[in-house]
């Protein structure tokens, strides 16, 4: 079984995530220039938090972000700072967004992604006893 790994001082890891942020009340606000500005801000904020954005895309709502993090990344802090900073910056730049009290609701969706399926991992773990 092979992973695309990263290394820390005392660890090897492979941590990828899929984050979905939907706008508050599911308004279709992320189109055109707003969506492009949002994607640029995601890159900038992630870079400051030592997070590698693998891909991001939005149409009108929501935005999907695939990213890689380290074992010490505080995911909820990263996500909350991402939501707060992007909301503030987008509302300051795009006047039509100021009519909304907040761009994002308190909720979000986050899932781990893997290079192998859960069934493949289960089979791998189950077969470890065969080699002893």
Instruction: Determine which one of 3, 13, 25, 124 is catalytic.
Output: 124
Four-residue CA torsion sign, 7, 13, 14, 16: negative
| Catalytic residue status for 13 | no
- The rounded distance, in Å, linking the Cα atoms of 65 and 63 is 6
Q: How far apart are CA 51 and CA 125, in angstroms?
A: 29
Residue 14 and residue 115 in contact, taking contact as beta carbons nearer than 8 Å: yes
> Taking the CB of residue 38, how many other CB atoms lie within 10 A of it?
22
**Contact (Cβ atoms closer than 8 angstroms) between residue 100 and residue 65:** no
CA 91 to chain centre: 21
Active site residues: 124
């Amino acid at each position: 079984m092979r992973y695309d790994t990263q290394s820390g001082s005392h660890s090897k890891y492979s941590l990828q995530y899929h984050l979905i942020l939907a706008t508050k009340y599911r308004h279709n606000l992320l189109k055109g220039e707003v969506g492009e500005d949002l994607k640029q801000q995601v890159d900038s904020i992630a870079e400051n938090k030592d997070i590698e954005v693998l891909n991001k895309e939005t149409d009108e709502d929501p935005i999907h972000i695939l990213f890689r993090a380290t074992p010490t990344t505080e995911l909820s802090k990263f996500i909350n700072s991402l939501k707060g900073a992007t909301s503030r910056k987008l509302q300051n730049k795009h006047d039509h967004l100021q009519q909304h009290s907040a761009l994002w609701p308190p909720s979000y969706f986050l899932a781990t992604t893997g290079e192998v399926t859960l069934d493949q991992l289960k089979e791998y773990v189950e077969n470890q006893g065969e080699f002893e």
